[in-house]
């Protein structure tokens, strides 16, 4: 069982994050989830549900929404500085920010750790652990690109949610699964969403 920190921010693309959460829990991983207030707005806009403010309520809501799964889910508040991923002594195995706003990406690139999401990402970089950012923006400005380059040079994996079409997707869900499958591959978590190339 791996411990994966998963963060939702206010970029469009929460279906990617929710599907990733589901797949991680299905595969028996321990997920530490944290999300921003803007992500709560996006959840209502894109998926017609409300992510609760209180972590305990969020855990209950997500357990009911996702059903019985093999993994463990713990939700943390965005200002919870006692959360395990806030310290290099207990960072977990990897972190994914999906979707990732350009504001969050910029904060991480600048070393600004003013909330749990940015602090946890900073910890991942300094501890040389896997940090995957899924930036959902179009087009990218020069500032965005410079920040992504800076983070890539620091060891982060930049994975814009760009689905391939060689598997002939027949639905939006299939395109979401393509992106989630690539994230799972980089986390070293087995997946059956998309067949490997040439198989």
> Torsion over CA of 177, 19, 98 and 125, rounded to 10 degrees?
-90
Q: Is the pLDDT of residue 198 over 90?
A: no
Please compute the mean of the pLDDT values over residues 137-160 and round it to a whole number.
98
Q: Give the rounded distance of the alpha carbon of 109 from its chain centre.
A: 17
User: What CATH number is given to the structural domain containing 132?
Assistant: 3.40.50.1950
How many domains does the chain contain in total? Answer: 1
Q: Which pTM does this prediction carry?
A: 0.96
CA distances from residue 13 to 30, 98, 124 in whole angstroms, order as listed: 22, 8, 23
- Assign 21 a pLDDT band (cuts: 50, 70, 90): very high
Alpha-carbon gap, residue 161 to 16, rounded angstroms:
8
- Assign 196 a pLDDT band (cuts: 50, 70, 90): confident
- Residues 30 and 71 sit within 8 Å (Cβ to Cβ): yes
User: What are the structure tokens assigned to 68, written together?
Assistant: 């019985």
Please compute the mean of the pLDDT values over residues 108-119 and round it to a whole number.
97
User: Looking at the domain assignment, is residue 196 inside a domain?
Assistant: no
Please compute the mean of the pLDDT values over residues 45-53 and round it to a whole number.
96
CB-count exposure of residue 113 (10 Å: 0-12, 13-18, 19+): middle
Please compute the mean of the pLDDT values over residues 61-75 and round it to a whole number.
94
> Torsion over CA of 18, 24, 29 and 33, rounded to 10 degrees?
-20
- Assign 195 a pLDDT band (cuts: 50, 70, 90): confident
pLDDT in tens, 117-145: 999 999 999 999 999 999 999 999 999 99
Domain that holds residue 182: 3-187
- Residues 9 and 97 sit within 8 Å (Cβ to Cβ): yes
User: Looking at the domain assignment, is residue 199 inside a domain?
Assistant: no
User: Looking at the domain assignment, is residue 197 inside a domain?
Assistant: no
User: What are the structure tokens assigned to 50, written together?
Assistant: 């409300």
User: Looking at the domain assignment, is residue 49 inside a domain?
Assistant: yes
- Assign 183 a pLDDT band (cuts: 50, 70, 90): very high
How many CA within 13 A on the CB side of residue 25? 21
């Amino acid at each position: 069982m791996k411990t994966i920190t998963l963060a939702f921010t206010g970029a469009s693309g929460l279906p990617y994050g929710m599907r990733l959460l589901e797949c991680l829990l299905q595969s028996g991983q321990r997920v530490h989830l944290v999300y921003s207030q803007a992500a709560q707005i996006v959840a209502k806009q894109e998926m017609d549900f409300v992510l609760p403010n209180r972590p305990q309520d969020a855990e209950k809501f997500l357990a009911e929404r996702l059903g019985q799964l093999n993994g463990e889910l713990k939700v943390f508040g965005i200002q919870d500085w006692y959360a395990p991923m806030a310290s290099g002594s207990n960072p977990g195995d990897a972190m994914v920010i999906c979707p990732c706003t350009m504001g969050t990406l910029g904060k991480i690139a600048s070393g600004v750790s003013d909330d749990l999401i940015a602090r946890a990402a900073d910890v991942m970089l300094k501890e040389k652990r896997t940090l995957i950012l899924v930036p959902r923006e179009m087009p990218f400005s020069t500032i965005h690109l410079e920040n992504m380059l800076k983070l890539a040079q620091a060891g982060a994996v930049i994975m814009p949610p760009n689905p391939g079409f060689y598997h002939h997707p027949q639905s939006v869900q299939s395109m979401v699964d393509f992106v989630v499958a690539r994230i799972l591959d980089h986390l070293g978590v087995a997946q059956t969403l998309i067949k490997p190339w040439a198989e």
